[in-house]
């Protein structure tokens, strides 16, 4: 903005920050109501969980909210960390808790990146990777993605990444499954890749959508972490566990790497209610299974219905599908908004012909499909 350029403190803004634009989130339901007066909108724009959290989480939060809110939370997150350590077969000194896995990506960047260092990610990678990289004024190595007509269109090209490794490369960010494409990295290809990455380069494997992936397609990240101390995994409670509102994510990494992350982590970075909710969400494996099963079924159904409309759907192992309209998708996005259906335009991801649609409940998906048919006929 012009007026900001003129202010004297702009002189000291980190150069990378000047290249950034604020993250564009999916539109909240209330905002659509304010803008267009639509009162019964559904949001399929941020890959949230349509079933919400386990009922046990809701009950516990209602009880806990009446308790003592004056004390700071447990900074060590003792109980949650113990459960996560057991789940991943590591010690608690390998776990970092954060208020959302985005914050963890930021911690990695703050520890390892800066002027004179580089981070690498694929062209259609998650938007927060460039954000945390440029915020540290590190160089971004943006690797061309797999071709649009390949088996994994717009997906991460690990062979290209391996060819572009450099001595100053401090961090590589890879999401599998990836957002916004839904594509994934084959486990064998990832193992071949890890062999080539030098030990001084930290590989962050972002498993935000892990649960939605068929087990046979999942990378054995636990096994690989035992062999490669420079491999770190991030997970979130915002997706399958349905508590995006509470902001809980975590990292699993070698204790030495975890120690570095703790040095820059803000104290008390998870609220008490968030910690409690995450513990209970983790315990309710039946609820997790229900959410996964709904997603698997509906992802296939929505994908097939979109293909029946003559649209191209990218292969997805996540809780969303990304759809190619073969023409600018902005008017279709607008027509959906006017019918109270919020999906995500992909212009900021260099995919202006695409929309990304989260998988909702059966009723929400039906409403999306019916609204889309109307939008395409108009």
* Positions that interact with ligand PLP (CB under 6 A): 47, 100-102, 126, 175, 179, 206, 208, 236, 238, 244, 249
Q: Considering the complex, what minimum distance in angstroms separates the CB of residue 330 from ligand PLP?
A: 21
The DSSP line for 252-291 is: E--HHHHHHHHHHSPTT-S-HHHHHHHHHHHH-HHHHHHH
CA distance 139 to 158: 19
Q: Considering the complex, what minimum distance in angstroms separates the CB of residue 319 from ligand PLP?
A: 10
Whether residue 180 has a cis bond before it, omega within 30° of 0:
yes
CB contact set of 288 (below 8 Å; sequence gap of 6+): 211, 240, 241, 281
> How many Cα atoms within 13 Å fall on the side-chain side of residue 80?
28
Q: Considering the complex, what minimum distance in angstroms separates the CB of residue 212 from ligand PLP?
A: 11
Q: Considering the complex, what minimum distance in angstroms separates the CB of residue 95 from ligand PLP?
A: 15
Q: Which is nearer to ligand PLP, 197 or 208 (CB)?
A: 208
Q: Considering the complex, what minimum distance in angstroms separates the CB of residue 46 from ligand PLP?
A: 6
CA distance 255 to 249: 18
Q: Considering the complex, what minimum distance in angstroms separates the CB of residue 171 from ligand PLP?
A: 14
Q: Which is nearer to ligand PLP, 133 or 371 (CB)?
A: 133
Q: Which is nearer to ligand PLP, 180 or 371 (CB)?
A: 180
Q: Which is nearer to ligand PLP, 235 or 375 (CB)?
A: 235
Which DSSP helix (H) or strand (E) runs through 292?
A: helix 285-308
Q: Which is nearer to ligand PLP, 281 or 375 (CB)?
A: 281
Nearest Cα to Cα of residue 279 among 141, 39, 74: 74
Please give the residue whose beta carbon sits closest to ligand PLP in the complex: 100
CA distance 232 to 94: 10
CB contact set of 244 (below 8 Å; sequence gap of 6+): 46, 48, 49, 237, 238
Q: Which is nearer to ligand PLP, 100 or 345 (CB)?
A: 100
Do 154 and 176 meet the contact criterion of CB atoms below 8 Å apart? Answer: no
Q: Which is nearer to ligand PLP, 177 or 375 (CB)?
A: 177
CA distance 150 to 181: 13
| Radius of gyration for the alpha carbons in the chain, expressed in angstroms and rounded | 21
Q: Considering the complex, what minimum distance in angstroms separates the CB of residue 145 from ligand PLP?
A: 15
Strands 139-143 and 42-43: unpaired
Q: Considering the complex, what minimum distance in angstroms separates the CB of residue 220 from ligand PLP?
A: 19
The DSSP line for 128-150 is: HHHHHHHHTTPEEEEEPPSPTTS
Q: Which is nearer to ligand PLP, 136 or 270 (CB)?
A: 270
């Amino acid at each position: 903005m012009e007026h900001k350029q003129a202010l004297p403190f702009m002189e000291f803004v980190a150069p990378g920050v000047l290249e950034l634009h604020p993250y564009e989130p999916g539109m909240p339901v209330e905002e659509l109501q304010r803008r267009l007066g639509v009162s019964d909108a559904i949001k399929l724009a941020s890959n949230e969980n349509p079933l919400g959290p386990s009922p046990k989480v809701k009950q516990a939060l209602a009880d806990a909210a009446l308790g003592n809110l004056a004390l700071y939370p447990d900074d060590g997150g003792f109980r949650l960390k113990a459960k996560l350590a057991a789940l991943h077969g590591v010690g608690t000194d390998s776990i970092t808790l954060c208020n959302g896995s985005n914050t963890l990506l930021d911690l990695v960047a703050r520890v390892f990146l800066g002027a004179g260092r580089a981070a690498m990610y694929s062209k259609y990678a998650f938007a927060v990777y460039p954000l945390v990289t440029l915020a540290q004024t590190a160089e971004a190595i943006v690797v061309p993605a797999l071709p649009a007509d390949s088996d994994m269109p717009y997906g991460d090209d690990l062979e290209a990444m391996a060819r572009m490794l450099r001595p100053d490369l401090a961090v590589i960010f890879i999401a599998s499954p990836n957002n916004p494409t839904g594509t994934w990295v084959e486990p064998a290809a990832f193992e071949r890749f890890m062999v080539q990455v030098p030990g001084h380069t930290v590989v962050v494997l972002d498993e935000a959508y892990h649960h939605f992936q068929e087990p046979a397609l999942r990378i054995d990240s636990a096994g690989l972490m035992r062999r490669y101390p420079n491999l770190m995994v991030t997970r979130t409670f915002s997706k399958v566990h349905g508590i995006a509102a509470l902001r809980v994510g975590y990292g699993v990494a070698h204790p030495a790497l975890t120690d570095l992350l703790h040095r820059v982590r803000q104290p008390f970075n998870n609220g008490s209610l968030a910690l409690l909710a995450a513990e209970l969400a983790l315990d309710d494996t039946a609820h997790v299974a229900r959410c996964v099963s709904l997603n698997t079924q509906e992802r296939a159904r929505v994908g097939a219905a979109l293909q029946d409309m003559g649209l191209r759907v990218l292969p997805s192992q996540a809780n969303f599908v990304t759809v190619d309209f073969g023409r600018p998708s902005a008017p279709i996005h607008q027509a959906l908004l006017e019918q109270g259906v919020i999906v995500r335009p992909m212009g900021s991801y260099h995919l202006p012909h695409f929309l990304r649609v989260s998988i909702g409940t059966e009723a929400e998906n039906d409403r999306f499909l019916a609204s889309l048919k109307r939008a395409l006929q108009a």
